[in-house]
Amino acid sequence: MERRIRDFWEAEGVYKYDPDSGKPQFSVDTPPPYVSAAHLHVGHAMSYSQAEFLVRYKRMTGHEIFYPMGFDDNGLPTERFVEQTHKVNKKTISRADFRALCMEETAKGAVAYEEMWRDLGLSIDWRLRYSTIDEHCRRTSQLSFIDLYKKGEVVRSDDPVLWDTVYDTALAQADLEVMDRKGQLFDIAFRDPDGNDMVISTTRPELIPGCVALYHHPDDERYKPLAGKSASVPIFDYDVPLKTSEDVDPEFGTGLMMCCTFGDGEDVKKWRIDKLDTRLVIGRDGKMTALAGKYEGMDIGGARKAIVQDLDEAGFIRDQRRVDQAVSVGERSGQPVEFAMVPQWFIKVLDKKEQFLKRSAELNWFPEHMKIRLDQWIEGLKYDWNISRQRFYGVPFPVWYVQETGDVILADEADLPVDPTEDAPPQWAQEKYAGMTIVGEPDVMDTWMTSSVSAQINANWAGTQGRMGCDFPLSLRVQAFEIIRTWLFYSVVKSDLHAATLPWQQAMISGWGLNEQGKKISKRDLEKFTDENGYNRYDPHSVIREYGADALRYWAAGARLGSDLRYHEKDVKVGRKLVIKMWNVARLIEMYLEGYDRDAAKVPLADRAVEDRWVLSGLDKLIGDVTRGFEGYDYAIGREALDKYFWNTLCDNYLEIVKERLRKPEVFGETSQKAAQDTLVEVLRTVLALFAPYVPFITEELYQKFYAADEGGASLHKSSWPEKQGREDAVAGETMKSLLAVIEAWRFMRTRDKIPFSTGIDVLTVHLEGEVAHMKEAIEANADTLKSALRARSIKVDGGTGTETNRDGLTLSYTVVEE
RNA sequence: GGGCGUAUAGCUCAGUGGUAGAGCGCUACCUUGACAUGGUAGAAGUCCGUAGUUCGAUCCUACGUACGCCCA
């Protein structure tokens, strides 16, 4: 069924973006997932579904939808995937071959992804698809660089940069993660000029040969007498100055701090402020440099051990103890980062914290509390954004250097995209620097350089020929919370610098789908739990094959926006149950619609039975609830309200009550039958529309079956969102409360007395006294409702108490129809 | 150490300043002319703890505890 509906949508072009429709535009900046579809799990299906509920809602509320899909194909994850899959690394393979392999895996991944999203029923216009490595994105990305260069916001500098020794590349602050671990803290003695101990505490004794200064707090009386003096570095025997800094905590250890180039961001700061010496003792490869003397060539761990041993033997170690430490590691390599000094391109962000915070405040956050994550990230920024990566697969910098002069040559915008390692510089530059050596920049840009302009890519800011673009800024950004500091932050930076605006009006932040243990679903889960038939409960393809995309989507709608949701296969089964139930409800209605004339005038509301008015009243309220939910970017509210209405109000009660009316016009009258039919037709139509964003397949199927021909509408998903019809009816609600109490009492007794469903009641007497006396009028005035609901021939109301007592204080007595 | 979030039935989660909710699971019954991938009924909770505000707190406030995430 889903396959057929999917083909139908595609044949009809239901989700195609039409720039000329004249409708208000709703554009979505969706997260580009990266390569290798092998890691795809139901958590991904969840977050993409959640965004898509909104898209479908917006489409039905009359918006022209711009819903693209991107693929994040450049960057370290892709490279690493290729390195692992093909057992190569960038040192053993040529740049061109490596890029070719990346492109190949990228293409494979994209096919798998696209198939996945189509299966899931995402209403994407696939013509708007982009890949972050394609020509349009390279052009946009390079244009972004050139624009920022011209504005003076991107600069080349050889400041210390965060360095990943495993992947041999620079990193940005956002590429770091914190790893908590146990470390060894050593108290190590330096010597003042008089030969007295000056003890510092460090977890990194291997950096001692890189020590360039000792620091203490300016008010620390212990060290004031030593001001301006120097200290001697143990084993390495050279002198470093003694300096002061407000940042030193006098309470920590001895109040003396060693500053090396470079142990951490603090060292970098002091190095810059106090113009300290530079002694890089750890190389880009993670090995000790010549400055480390006899330790040269050792890896960090080995050098630490050797240096500690030598310090100990020479009597410089005063104490050592285990401590908890937080180490910055590369997000991809998981290894502690070091520092290196290599000329890199930086985007200046540190001087703009205030203006980014202002942008954060301008953005509409859903849920609201996600804003603080961005604010805190901005406040904690320590480095400008290094956008250079010493990798192969990425967007090249549109830049050449003149060796003789050091001049920077920028590509002409008309030539973009360029690859300076292959393409010649612009003609004017060749003429100007004739006879000199011009070298293309070999580094590639940080992958976020491209991802951060996804809004501009979608809006076709670069003006690529033949590409459709939406308005800028876009309406909505959708993403998970863990990339607020990267994707969201960098996007805000880019739009602020390029256009002095936000990239979108709203940001909707989703949570994660977790496994049963509440942990992130891992690749291991995907491998470990695959059975002999290839079925895996975490694999979206498996789940969709087994239960259908609607069922999986239904599960995804169970999490409040922004919260994580544990995945249990049984919850998908509940979704499957709903789909089947809808199918059966439709079948039932179809059955009772035999001979129904859709064009005939509807029975006026006032002439319909109380249950008709009640179910329509509930429908109006439901429309309000679901709509309110979506307006607040919360789909979970709507699903819950729909569930309740559909199962409880419609299936359990209304349908059960009206069956007899529909079946026996000779008893209840033809108007009564027609009224029930009118009501059912409308209720089903509205319920289908309200459920459409969540379970698009089954709702479309039923719409096509029952309504499409009549309405001349192509697709339910292009039809309009239901609006309240002013049918809310408190009186009917009150009356139905009484009637339902009788019905429930009867169900209770029927179960207790083991009366088969098929057995009708001859006479049912409701005994009313005390608190329930007020029900008399409701019951007498709506006897037909009860007759139909209970299959009773007659209903009587009596005072006193019957013999049969229900817990609600309502008492019934009855005689059954003898067969 | 700082911040954010979460804590409600066996499980996954809604919710409300006034008697506590759903689905799943469990128990019993029912093969009824939509549905056994079903239906009906039932059992099941110290709403994390303590103190405060209030006529009344699961909800508001403060403090604490546990867990998750982010940042040092």
pLDDT at A750: 79
Query: What is the C-alpha to C-alpha distance for residues A387 and A610, in angstroms, rounded to an integer?
Result: 68
Among the ranges A66-75, A190-199, A227-236, A460-469, which has the highest mean pLDDT value?
A460-469
pLDDT in tens, A104-146: 888 888 888 888 899 999 999 999 999 888 999 999 999 999 9
pLDDT > 70: percent of chain A: 97
Query: What is the C-alpha to C-alpha distance for residues A628 and A620, in angstroms, rounded to an integer?
Result: 12
Strand B within 7 A of A369 CB:
yes
pLDDT in tens, A719-739: 999 999 999 888 898 888 888
C-alpha closest to that of A631 among A674, A580, A693: A693
Q: What phi and psi, each to the nearest 5 degrees, are found at residue A735?
A: -60, -45
Residues in chain A: 819
User: Can you tell me the mean pLDDT for A227-236?
Assistant: 90
Residue A327's DSSP bridge partners are A179
Q: What phi and psi, each to the nearest 5 degrees, are found at residue A283?
A: -85, 175
Strand B within 7 A of A655 CB:
yes
Does the pLDDT of residue A778 top 70, yes or no?
A: yes
3-state secondary structure of A256: coil
Does the pLDDT of residue A810 top 80, yes or no?
A: no
Q: Which segment of A16-20, A122-126, A141-145, A774-778 scores lowest on mean pLDDT?
A: A774-778
Query: What is the C-alpha to C-alpha distance for residues A445 and A450, in angstroms, rounded to an integer?
Result: 8
Encoded tokens for A591: 């059955």
DSSP labels for A35-60?
Answer: S-GGG--HHHHHHHHHHHHHHHHHHH
Residues 733-752 of A with CB under 7 A from strand B: 744, 747-748, 750-752
Q: Starting from the edge strand earliest in sequence, which strands make up the sheet with A64-66, in order?
A: A64-66, A25-29, A474-480, A504-510, A364-366
Going by their DSSP bridges, the two strands A444-445 and A504-510 should be labelled as unpaired
Beta strands in A605-742 (DSSP E): none
User: Can you tell me the mean pLDDT for A606-623?
Assistant: 93
Query: What is the C-alpha to C-alpha distance for residues A480 and A509, in angstroms, rounded to an integer?
Result: 5
User: Can you tell me the mean pLDDT for A379-402?
Assistant: 93
Q: If you average pLDDT over every residue of chain A, what do you get?
A: 89
pLDDT at A13: 93
User: Could you tell me which CATH number the domain at A24-153+350-397+443-561 has?
Assistant: 3.40.50.620
Strand B within 7 A of A754 CB:
yes
Strand B within 7 A of A563 CB:
yes
The domain made up of A169-341 has a fold known as Isoleucyl-tRNA Synthetase; domain 2 (3.90.740)
Q: How confident is the model at residue A37 (pLDDT cuts 50, 70, 90)?
A: low
Degrees, nearest 5: CA angle A677-A680-A681: 85
Query: What is the C-alpha to C-alpha distance for residues A365 and A504, in angstroms, rounded to an integer?
Result: 11
User: Can you tell me the mean pLDDT for A798-807?
Assistant: 61
What homologous superfamily does CATH list for A568-728? Isoleucyl-tRNA Synthetase; Domain 1 (1.10.730.10)
- Check: CB of residue A781 under 8 Å from CB of residue A787: no
Indicate the DSSP class of residue A803: S
A663 CA: nearest nucleotide by C1': B33
pLDDT in tens, A743-758: 888 888 877 777 777 7
- Check: CB of residue A102 under 8 Å from CB of residue A26: no
Strand B within 7 A of A757 CB:
yes
pLDDT at A525: 80
User: Can you tell me the mean pLDDT for A654-659?
Assistant: 91
User: Can you tell me the mean pLDDT for A654-660?
Assistant: 91
A757 CA: nearest nucleotide by C1': B32
3-state secondary structure of A150: helix
- Check: CB of residue A69 under 8 Å from CB of residue A29: no
Query: What is the C-alpha to C-alpha distance for residues A785 and A675, in angstroms, rounded to an integer?
Result: 13
CA distance readout (Å), A80 to A86, A286, A379, A446 = 10, 19, 31, 15
Q: How confident is the model at residue A818 (pLDDT cuts 50, 70, 90)?
A: low
Among the ranges A226-230, A420-424, A787-791, which has the highest mean pLDDT value?
A420-424
- In this predicted complex, what is the ipTM? 0.93
Beta strands in A262-331 (DSSP E): 317-330
pLDDT in tens, A272-324: 889 999 999 999 999 999 999 999 999 999 999 999 999 999 999 999 988 88
Distance B49 C1' – A367 CA (angstroms): 29
Chain B: nucleotides under 7 Å from a protein CB? 2-6, 11-15, 22-25, 28-35, 37-42, 67-72
Domain definitions of chain A by residue range: 24-153+350-397+443-561, 169-341, 568-728, 747-816
Q: How confident is the model at residue A95 (pLDDT cuts 50, 70, 90)?
A: confident
User: Can you tell me the mean pLDDT for A348-362?
Assistant: 94
For the beta carbon of residue A75, count every other beta carbon within 10 angstroms.
27
Residues 60-119 of A with CB under 7 A from strand B: none
Query: What is the C-alpha to C-alpha distance for residues A6 and A787, in angstroms, rounded to an integer?
Result: 44
User: Can you tell me the mean pLDDT for A220-231?
Assistant: 87
Query: What is the C-alpha to C-alpha distance for residues A488 and A327, in angstroms, rounded to an integer?
Result: 25
Q: How confident is the model at residue A35 (pLDDT cuts 50, 70, 90)?
A: low
